Amino acid sequence: MDFKEIQELVKMFSKSGIGELKIEQENFSIKLKSNESFTQVISGGVMTSMPMNTANMMPAPVSSATPASEDKATPAAKSSGSEKTIKAPMIGTFYRSGGPDKEAFVKVGDRVEVGQVICIIEAMKLFNEIESDQAGTITKVLLNDASPVEYDQPLFIIE
């Protein structure tokens, strides 16, 4: 994780109301603990305390992401081995459209170009338009609308 990702994680942790969070990766680990006034960040054996905003604390959603149901309007293309994954650039809540009454940005079978908006991820009450980093045809949508999403979690499969 880079410094910006750690800052974002600490901000979201502080607002979540969670008491403790530990993340371990191959060559990196971080443990966050909170009390009423401070969040402790322990990374690589170094511990720092950061002021914590206790106003507007909300419980974090506890659910696992489940694959989205296939779009029935367009059948999924057959796998040819050239499938690639579009991954989440941040943590937050995944939305397929710009609003509950609006059409999804992309559906299975749609052709996408680099830079085309494919979904929205809400993080800290900010709605971030996520653009495709590759061109291709959407073969699978991996999350349901309004699902929590982790950093680098696969969102779409394209061919």
Q: Does residue 95 share a domain with residue 146?
A: yes
Question: Which residue did the predictor score with more confidence, 85 or 30?
Answer: 85
- Does pLDDT of 36 surpass 60? no
Instruction: Using a pLDDT cut of 90, give the percent of the chain over it.
Output: 42
Give the model's pLDDT for residue 143.
93
Give the helix/strand (H/E) hosting 11.
helix 3-16
Helix (H, G, I), strand (E, B) or coil at 21: strand
What is the Cα–Cα distance from 159 to 46, expressed in whole angstroms? Answer: 44
pLDDT digits (tens, 9 = 90+) for 101-148: 899 999 999 999 999 999 999 988 889 999 999 999 999 999 999 999
| Total tally of structural domains belonging to the chain | 2
CATH code for position 131: 2.40.50.100
Q: Does residue 89 share a domain with residue 47?
A: no
In a domain, 70, yes or no: no
- Does pLDDT of 75 surpass 80? no
Average pLDDT over residues 78-101: 85
Give the model's pLDDT for residue 53.
41
Domain extent at residue 35? 3-51
What is the Cα–Cα distance from 133 to 115, expressed in whole angstroms? Answer: 6
What is the Cα–Cα distance from 144 to 146, expressed in whole angstroms? Answer: 6
Q: Does residue 101 share a domain with residue 41?
A: no
Alpha helices in 41-136 (DSSP H): none
In a domain, 90, yes or no: yes
Instruction: Using a pLDDT cut of 70, give the percent of the chain over it.
Output: 69
CA 21 and chain centroid, separation: 17
**Average per-residue pLDDT in the chain?**
75
In a domain, 151, yes or no: yes
What is the Cα–Cα distance from 63 to 147, expressed in whole angstroms? Answer: 8
Q: Does residue 88 share a domain with residue 45?
A: no
Phi-psi region of 109 (alpha: psi -120 to 50; beta: other; left: phi over 0): left
Q: Are 105 and 71 in contact (CB under 8 A)?
A: no
Q: Identity (one letter) of the amino acid at 40?
A: Q
- Does pLDDT of 91 surpass 60? yes
DSSP class of 36: S
The confidence band for 63, taking pLDDT boundaries of 50, 70 and 90, is very low
Of the candidates 18, 22, 44, the one whose C-alpha atom is nearest the C-alpha of residue 32 is: 22
Q: Does residue 92 share a domain with residue 44?
A: no
DSSP class of 97: B
**pTM score, whole prediction:** 0.51
In a domain, 29, yes or no: yes
Q: Does residue 148 share a domain with residue 96?
A: yes
